[in-house]
């Protein structure tokens, strides 16, 4: 007899109905089993609608794959997208086939009464029956279809993704070098591109070329999100509270301590104990020449009043501005590459974006010790709109329109196939642009870059380790633990650069420190993505 395993997320509904139909209709030729990546319990509505057709599955039980007796399956049929994505490895002789069916409980969420809810289950029940009636012949045809998809998706899309992920550090390094060389050889081009920005109070807040790249980097991720899962993810309190605690209760203060230790003590002599920096006088202050303000002195420079402060303090200020800006855009890329829960990541991004509007200025003013820190509200609003809201809106509506017009299978197998490389190329193009803008600064200060990079690097590792460790203690699933840890480790460098420019000036040491944040952000976060993927077996699946 042919042995078939039906695999889904929780082994509560679709896989149970498939097993029931298979035993009822094909019991003489097929030995059927069902299991889940997790165990959610047998759905009573599934039992009820199957009984309407004379199939009793009330004796079946929900079980994980590990609970099945050791069996040599001929086929494994994944009946939902999550099971397909997280399907365990089976011996090469086992043919794994995807036959996706919609989730009845999710369909039933919009039902207004009991009968409408049952109709949702009946519809999927009948679709599964139609599929089972064609077994085992339909599996062979389905497998051929899957093989053709593999040649396109796995042979091209997956091959491209594997090459990208395997050599991503190399691609990043080449783009960084390429950007710096471009800025050096064609400074006029880099300057013109850099000037294509949205300005607020004379400071460039949003670079239009980078905003375009970030849109195309974010959109493919947003359009893949099943937005119904966002609502469910929002109910996952532990990872949301964990990221809020790390981002606002721990991270700003550890950044302060680590930056002060290295820049104020260990590296102070290397930076120059007597070296000074000229920064803008804080907004609203009209101080006379020679007056003291904090650790600085008011001086006249080229006819403009400036505040002269120790250079290390300027670098220290830039580190603080990075440390209090949790990432709200790029973390979607890191979570995606780490195969995390995109819906939950989106929820955490939204919550952190809103909390940043309130807490960024308060913590910045307290930690910098410069009095009231003027938060660039316009910069924050524009950043959130461009880097999160715009691709989110476009992804939501285009996903609905495409699935309605072309169907879910066309969306999954054709549209996403052509869209997948877009995120990759947009990320690499963003790196070239960023470093073409700031390459001159980096070349002029190579050792200074190192002194600033070390505390930023250690801070990132510490925050990631803390978040990842707490996620393990809280018994989070891997797909929730990875983005929860990385959203704190990553920084919103666009906002930090804009803030340092407004507060201290574009040529200040603080602005240079935020540029160093850009320099180490991608390589370090990619390293953490690799760590997550290597250690995902530590967590529940």
| pLDDT tens-digit readout, 126-178 | 999 999 998 887 776 554 444 444 443 434 444 444 555 556 567 767 887 88
Question: Long-range contacts made by residues 120-127, C-beta under 8 angstroms, separation at least 24?
Answer: 121/13, 121/45, 121/46, 121/48, 121/49, 122/49, 122/52, 124/13, 124/14, 124/17, 125/17, 125/46, 125/49, 125/50, 125/53, 127/101
Q: How far apart (Å, rounded) are the C-alpha atoms in residues 402 and 56?
A: 38
Q: Which of 158-162, 217-221, 267-271 has the highest mean pLDDT?
A: 267-271
CB of 77 closer than 8 Å to CB of 138: no
Domain-wise residue ranges, the chain: 2-158, 167-538
87 is catalytic: yes
DSSP-assigned states of every residue in 464-530:
HHHHHHHHHHTT-BHHHHHHHHHHHHSB-HHHHHHHHHHHH-TTSHHHHHHHHHHHHHHHHHHHHHH
Which CATH number applies to 167-538: 3.30.360.10, 1.25.10.10, 1.20.1530.20, 3.40.50.1970? 1.20.1530.20
DSSP-assigned states of every residue in 89-105:
P--TTSEEEE-----HH
22 is catalytic: no
Q: Which CATH class is domain 2-158?
A: alpha beta
Residue 300's H or E segment, with its range, is: strand 296-301
Distances (CA, A) of 192 to 176, 185, 186, 216, 431: 19, 14, 10, 21, 17
Tell me whether the CATH fold assigned to 2-158 matches the one assigned to 167-538.
Answer: no
From the candidates 22, 80, 319, 532, which is the catalytic residue? 80
- Select the more confidently predicted residue: 500 or 310: 310
In this predicted model, what pLDDT tens digit does every residue of 23-72 receive, in sequence order?
999 998 999 999 998 888 999 999 999 999 999 999 999 998 878 887 88
From the candidates 8, 13, 22, 175, which is the catalytic residue? 8
Q: Which of 140-154, 307-321, 370-384 has the highest mean pLDDT?
A: 307-321
Q: How far apart (Å, rounded) are the C-alpha atoms in residues 520 and 322?
A: 12
Which residue matches tokens 């059927």? 32
Report DSSP state, residue 291: -
* pLDDT (0 to 100) of residue 141: 55
80 is catalytic: yes
Q: What is the mean pLDDT of residues 184-192?
A: 73
């Amino acid at each position: 007899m042919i042995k078939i395993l039906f695999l889904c997320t929780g082994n509560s509904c679709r896989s149970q109905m498939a097993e029931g139909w298979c035993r009822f209709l094909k019991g003489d030729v097929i030995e059927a089993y069902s299991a889940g990546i997790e165990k959610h319990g047998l759905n009573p509505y599934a039992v009820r609608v199957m009984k309407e057709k004379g199939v009793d599955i009330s004796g079946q039980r929900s079980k994980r794959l590990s609970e099945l007796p050791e069996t040599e399956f001929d086929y494994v049929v994944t009946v939902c997208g999550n099971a397909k994505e997280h399907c365990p490895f089976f011996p090469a002789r086992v043919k794994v086939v995807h036959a996706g069916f919609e989730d009845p409980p999710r369909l039933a969420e919009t039902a207004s009464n009991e009968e409408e809810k049952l109709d949702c289950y009946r519809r999927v029940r009948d679709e599964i029956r139609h599929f089972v009636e064609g077994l085992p012949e339909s599996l062979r045809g389905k497998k051929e279809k899957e093989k053709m998809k593999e040649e396109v998706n796995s042979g091209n899309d997956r091959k491209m993704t594997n090459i990208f992920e395997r050599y991503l550090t190399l691609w990043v390094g080449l783009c960084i070098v390429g950007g710096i060389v471009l800025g050096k050889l064609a400074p006029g081009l880099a300057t013109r591109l850099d000037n294509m920005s949205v300005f607020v109070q004379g400071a460039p807040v949003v670079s239009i070329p980078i905003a375009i790249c970030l849109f195309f980097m974010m959109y493919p991720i947003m359009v893949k999100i099943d937005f119904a899962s966002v609502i469910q993810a929002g109910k996952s309190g532990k990872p949301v509270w964990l990221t809020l605690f790390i981002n606002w209760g721990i991270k700003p203060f550890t950044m302060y301590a680590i930056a002060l230790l290295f820049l104020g003590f260990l590296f102070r002599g290397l930076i120059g104990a007597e070296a000074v920096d000229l920064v803008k006088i804080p907004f609203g202050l009209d101080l006379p020449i020679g007056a003291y303000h904090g650790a600085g002195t008011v001086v006249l420079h080229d006819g403009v009043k400036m505040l002269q402060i120790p250079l290390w303090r300027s670098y220290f200020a830039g580190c603080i501005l990075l440390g209090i800006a949790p990432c709200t855009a790029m973390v979607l890329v890191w979570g995606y590459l780490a195969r995390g829960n995109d819906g939950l990541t989106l929820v955490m991004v939204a919550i952190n974006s809103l909390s940043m509007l309130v807490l960024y200025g308060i913590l910045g003013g307290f930690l910098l010790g410069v009095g009231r820190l003027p938060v660039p509200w316009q910069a924050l609003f524009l950043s959130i709109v461009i880097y999160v809201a715009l691709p989110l809106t476009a992804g939501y509506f285009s996903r609905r329109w495409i699935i309605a017009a072309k169907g879910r299978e066309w969306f999954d197998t054709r549209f996403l196939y052509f869209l997948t490389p877009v995120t990759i190329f947009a990320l690499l193009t963003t790196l070239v642009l960023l470093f073409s803008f700031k390459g001159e600064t980096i070349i002029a200060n190579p050792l200074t870059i190192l002194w600033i990079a070390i505390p930023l690097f250690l801070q990132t590792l510490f925050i990631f380790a803390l978040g990842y460790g707490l996620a393990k203690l809280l018994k989070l699933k891997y797909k929730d633990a990875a983005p929860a840890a990385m959203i704190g480790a990553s920084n919103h460098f666009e906002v930090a650069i804009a803030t340092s420019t407004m507060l201290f000036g574009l040529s200040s040491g603080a602005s240079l420190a935020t540029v160093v944040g850009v320099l180490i952000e991608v390589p370090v976060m990619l390293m953490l993505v690799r760590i997550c993927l290597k250690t995902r077996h530590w967590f529940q699946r």
